[in-house]
């Protein structure tokens, strides 16, 4: 039998991990990165690109580059909100009401599962290369609020990628597993997950290996990308004022602005000031123009006040729905790359008076939990029993009572 891995198939990034010698290990991709952008593209030559290479052409070749496809998994076209239809590529409704993603370059269409399968395939191939033995099975994580159709679509994506999907695991459950929170007596956990484009809060009850999702809340249109956009606009507005050119109108410039903004944002999680240099960002009759500036963390935080404000109410909502107050929370777990921002951590501390668990990298913690679950299933990890329960009260479409994963 081949190896069973854990995969966090994220909206923005995906991560693959495996148990090795009883310990979870995150596998870096061939570009040396431990997270792989969940982006699939087709180049002008018709070559399939997955990850960083695809992401790099997203603004330049928008019609053939697919990001955030997770939003379409297991959904009917009619269910989509106007915001989630607003993407740079073309989606359409097929004869049966399903979502199809157009690929003008190949003159064909893909189902969301097929695009997700390309990401899973790339990850499984990287893992096979690393392990030197084939990866045949996977535990794949999904948001706790995913309904049956969305979970089934995730299983189908795995199958299309040639993987046996051993289990579909809730992301907050995986994160809690990574911290070993299942090994203690009954407790209530709040998982705060701010990724690239989505925000999820979950309240879980863990008792004797049974994980029960008590409540979920969030904002499907809020994530790290919005923080990047604040910097993009700040840079572009400054440039507009000085040079009377709107860099956002030129695709090449916009792509560079977006990459520089994300880089600056990430740097400001570690240091308090960062330089942004974009030589030859555009040209006029007077010659080439350069963008050179400096952003201070406190300035960045000022730009993002409204975003931080929007993180509050889902936390309160999830607590209220679980009939709890912040004092009832025993542990807080930070998930998602965007929780590395000091302003986000500070907000969490102000809402729940507990030092959050953040020893495991927030963008890897879900994949690590999935790998542990894979280890439980293959009996590499013993002495844990795990039951992941979502009650019907969450309003999920389930058949025949409780959803057990």
Residues that bind Mg ion (CB under 5 A): 10, 195
Largest pairwise CA distance in the chain = 71
CA distance 169 to 173: 7
Work out what residue 150 binds among Mg ion, ligand ADP, none; the CB cut-off runs from 5 to 8 Å by kind: none
Q: Is residue 171 annotated as a catalytic residue, yes or no?
A: yes
Give residue for tokens 């029993």: 385
* Site stretch for ligand ADP (CB under 6 A), options 105-113, 114-122, 158-166, 263-271: 263-271
Confirm or reject binding of residue 197 to ligand ADP (CB under 6 A). Answer: yes
Q: Terminus-to-terminus CA distance in the chain, angstroms?
A: 23
Confirm or reject binding of residue 262 to ligand ADP (CB under 6 A). Answer: yes
Work out what residue 308 binds among Mg ion, ligand ADP, none; the CB cut-off runs from 5 to 8 Å by kind: none
Confirm or reject binding of residue 340 to ligand ADP (CB under 6 A). Answer: yes
Nearest distance from residue 75's CB to ligand ADP, in Å? 17
Question: Are the C-beta atoms of 19 and 181 separated by less than 8 Å?
Answer: no
Q: Is residue 122 annotated as a catalytic residue, yes or no?
A: no
Measured from the CB atom, is 281 or 365 closer to Mg ion? 365
Confirm or reject binding of residue 388 to ligand ADP (CB under 6 A). Answer: no
Confirm or reject binding of residue 336 to ligand ADP (CB under 6 A). Answer: yes
Confirm or reject binding of residue 341 to ligand ADP (CB under 6 A). Answer: yes
* Chain centroid to CA 376: 24
Question: Are the C-beta atoms of 388 and 169 separated by less than 8 Å?
Answer: yes
Nearest to 374 by CA among 24, 123, 126: 24
Nearest to 227 by CA among 341, 70, 135, 134: 341
Confirm or reject binding of residue 265 to ligand ADP (CB under 6 A). Answer: yes
User: What SS3 state is found at 147?
Assistant: coil
Confirm or reject binding of residue 35 to ligand ADP (CB under 6 A). Answer: yes
CA distance 313 to 309: 8
Measured from the CB atom, is 34 or 159 closer to ligand ADP? 34
Q: Is residue 193 annotated as a catalytic residue, yes or no?
A: yes
Q: DSSP assignment, residue 28? A: P
Confirm or reject binding of residue 218 to ligand ADP (CB under 6 A). Answer: no
CA distance 27 to 18: 8
Q: How far is CA 170 from CA 112, 178, 336, 369, in A?
A: 20, 13, 14, 10
Nearest to 295 by CA among 254, 266, 253: 266
Nearest distance from residue 186's CB to Mg ion, in Å? 27
Which one from 113, 156, 171, 205 is the annotated catalytic residue? 171
35 φ/ψ angles, rounded to the nearest 5 degrees? -120, 145
Q: Is residue 388 annotated as a catalytic residue, yes or no?
A: no
Measured from the CB atom, is 261 or 334 closer to Mg ion? 334
* Site stretch for ligand ADP (CB under 6 A), options 25-33, 93-101, 235-243, 333-341: 333-341
Alpha helices in 161-269 (DSSP H): 171-178, 224-243, 251-267
* Site stretch for ligand ADP (CB under 6 A), options 11-19, 118-126, 253-261, 309-317: 11-19
Contact pick of 195, 314, 369, 375 for ligand ADP (by CB under 6 A)? 195
- The first and second tokens of residue 243, run together, are 């040079």
Work out what residue 173 binds among Mg ion, ligand ADP, none; the CB cut-off runs from 5 to 8 Å by kind: none
Give residues in contact with ligand ADP (CB under 6 A): 10-13, 35, 195-198, 223-225, 262, 265-266, 269, 336-338, 340-341, 363
Catalytic residues: 8, 70, 171, 193
């Amino acid at each position: 039998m081949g190896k069973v891995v854990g995969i966090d198939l994220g909206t923005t990034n995906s991560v693959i991990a495996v148990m090795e010698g009883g310990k979870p290990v995150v596998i870096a991709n061939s570009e040396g990165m431990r997270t792989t952008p969940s982006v699939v593209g087709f180049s002008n030559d018709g070559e399939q690109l997955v990850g960083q290479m695809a992401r790099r052409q997203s603004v330049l070749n928008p019609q053939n580059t697919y990001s955030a496809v997770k939003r379409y998994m297991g959904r009917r076209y009619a269910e989509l909100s106007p915001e989630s239809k607003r993407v740079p590529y073309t989606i359409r409704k097929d004869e049966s009401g399903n979502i199809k993603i157009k690929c003008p370059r190949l003159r064909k269409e893909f189902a969301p599962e097929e695009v997700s399968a390309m990401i899973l395939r790339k990850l499984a191939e990287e893992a096979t290369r690393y392990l030197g033995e084939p990866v045949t099975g996977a535990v794949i994580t999904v948001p706790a609020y995913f309904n049956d159709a969305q979970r089934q679509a995730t299983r189908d994506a795995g199958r299309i990628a040639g993987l046996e999907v051993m289990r579909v695991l809730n992301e907050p459950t995986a994160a809690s597993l990574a911290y070993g929170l299942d090994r203690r007596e009954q407790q209530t956990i709040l998982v705060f997950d701010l990724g690239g484009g989505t925000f999820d809060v979950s309240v879980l009850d863990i008792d004797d290996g049974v994980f029960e999702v008590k409540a979920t809340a969030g904002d499907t249109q809020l994530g790290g990308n919005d923080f990047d956009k604040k910097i993009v606009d700040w840079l572009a507005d400054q440039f507009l004022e000085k040079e009377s050119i709107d860099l956002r109108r030129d695709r090449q410039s916009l792509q560079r602005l977006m990459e520089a903004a994300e880089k600056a944002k990430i740097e400001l999680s570690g240091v308090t000031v960062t330089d942004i240099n974009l030589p030859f960002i555009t040209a006029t009759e007077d010659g080439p123009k350069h963008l050179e500036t400096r952003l201070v963390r406190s300035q960045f935080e000022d730009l993002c006040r409204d975003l931080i404000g929007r993180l509050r109410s889902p936390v309160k909502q999830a607590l209220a729905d679980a009939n709890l107050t912040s004092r009832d929370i025993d542990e807080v777990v930070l998930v998602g790359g965007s929780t590395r921002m000091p302003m986000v951590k500070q907000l969490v501390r102000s809402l729940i008076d507990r030092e959050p668990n953040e020893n495991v990298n927030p963008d890897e913690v879900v994949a690590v939990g999935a790998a542990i679950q894979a280890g439980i299933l293959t009996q590499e990890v013993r002495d844990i029993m795990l039951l992941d329960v979502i009650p019907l009260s969450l309003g999920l479409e389930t058949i025949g009572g409780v959803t057990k994963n």
